[in-house]
Amino acid sequence: MISMRKFCTTLTPFWLLLLLAALIMCGSELNEETYPDKYFTDGTRREQDILNNLFTLLAQESEPGAARFSLVREIANEYKRINDYSRLINFLSGWVDKHPDDPFNTYYLFMTAYAYMEMDALPVAALYFNLIVKNYPDLVVRGESIHLICLQQLINLVNEPEQKIWCYEELLSRFPEQSDESVTWFMLARTYEQVGGWESAISAYTNFLRYYAAVVPGFPDAYAYAKQMVDFNNSAKNWTFESLDALVDTIKQNLDNGSIWQLWQYRARVNFFARSWAQADSDDSGMTEFNMSSFGNSGKLHYANSLSPGSNSNEVYLRTWGWSQFTPIWYFYFRKIYFPLDPDIHGRWEWAGVYYGERF
């Protein structure tokens, strides 16, 4: 994305310098409405000369067009060059107020928002970005949409999840090819979760999953998380237990009976994993070939009387052993279900996976 600093800065065109020199020589009459008071032209001798000459030229441009736009922009850029953002803001906001029909007001307000960002007045900058997108037509400058940049800035500046949702949806509907669509879908889903919009969140996660193994900055497990949510939503969920005690007791009874086939029926039907402790959480390699009954033929199976250290109110481990000579120790992993979309399922428990080997 083009930087705001580069976007808001241009060099004075050669034709403008020529016109400036000609105007100084002929001493054209000024338009009092356009020519400013001393506040806008004060500064060093050089700054006064530049600003006086630019305002003199601007006074001759009563009609909107490319020439007037270039002059307004150059005045603002001169303030920016000397880091005088207060005058830049006052000049541009005053211009927009006096010229409500200027077709370039979108750009002037964008420069104003940029100036507030340079002054670390981020909440005020956000107000301007929001004003531009909702009340002013889009402009494309140097191949970049001002509305697109404003939306991207708003997402980083606003705290209200409802406004973030609006920004993400605007990006997806208006600029799907100019923004990272996969990242936008994921962040939209996450934000819907924050406000309890679970059906909309699942829909957004479903769209995100179209981008296979997409990378989302700051969320290394984004794809796995979205897949778990969508797959669980689409499942029957008939393997869940009302309480942890009921789940653990059922597992232990089947281990005592040596009923491996029956035990296997209590596993989670989606998102179940079987991996070593060293494998990444998203590594499900080998799950298609995994068959518990092939591991329980070495004799009686055993389990610890109490749950393993490291268990908590949401995740629980049960140490078992006697599976095979190569991997005799397995830890059964139970977790509390987090699924607010369905209150009847949310908070129940499931047997979610198996870890091979001794825990580190």
- More confidently predicted of 327 and 3: 327
Residues 44, 42: Cα–Cα separation, whole Å? 7
Q: Please report which confidence band the pLDDT of residue 12 belongs to, taking 50, 70 and 90 as the band edges.
A: very low
CATH 3.10.450 domain residues, the chain: 244-356
All residues at 6 or more sequence positions from 130 whose CB lies less than 8 Å from its CB, including other chains: 150, 154, 158, 163
pLDDT at residue 1 in the model: 47
Q: How far is CA 355 from CA 69, 148, 227, 334, in A?
A: 67, 46, 21, 11
pLDDT (tens digit per residue) in 167-195: 999 999 999 988 899 999 999 999 999 99
Helices of type H across 136-221? 146-157, 161-174, 181-194, 198-208
pLDDT (tens digit per residue) in 79-131: 999 999 999 999 999 999 999 999 999 999 999 999 999 999 999 999 999 99
Of 154, 81, 77, 350, the closest CA to residue 240 belongs to 350
- Kindly provide the b/e burial profile for residues 142-177, where b requires at least 16 CB atoms within 10 angstroms of the residue's own CB: eebebbbbbbbbbbebbeebebbbbbbebbbeebee
Environment class of 326 (CB within 10 Å of its CB; exposed 0-12, middle 13-18, buried 19+) = exposed
Could you say which DSSP state residue 356 is in?
E
Of 263, 236, 261, 237, the closest CA to residue 250 belongs to 263
Residues 165, 173: Cα–Cα separation, whole Å? 12
pLDDT at residue 300 in the model: 85
Q: Is the pLDDT of residue 23 over 60?
A: no
Environment class of 232 (CB within 10 Å of its CB; exposed 0-12, middle 13-18, buried 19+) = buried
41 three-class SS: coil
Give the CA radius of gyration of the chain. Answer: 32
* pLDDT average, residue stretch 238-267: 93
User: Under CATH, which number does the domain 244-356 receive?
Assistant: 3.10.450
Copy the structure tokens of residue 223. Answer: 């794809």
275 three-class SS: strand
Q: pTM for this one?
A: 0.80
Residue 19 has a CB neighbour count (10 Å cut-off) of 17
Give the DSSP H/E element, type plus range, for residue 340.
Answer: none
Could you say which DSSP state residue 30 is in?
P
Residue 210 has a CB neighbour count (10 Å cut-off) of 10
pLDDT at residue 213 in the model: 76
Residues 212, 230: Cα–Cα separation, whole Å? 14
Least confident of 85-89, 258-262, 266-270: 258-262
Residues 57, 35: Cα–Cα separation, whole Å? 9
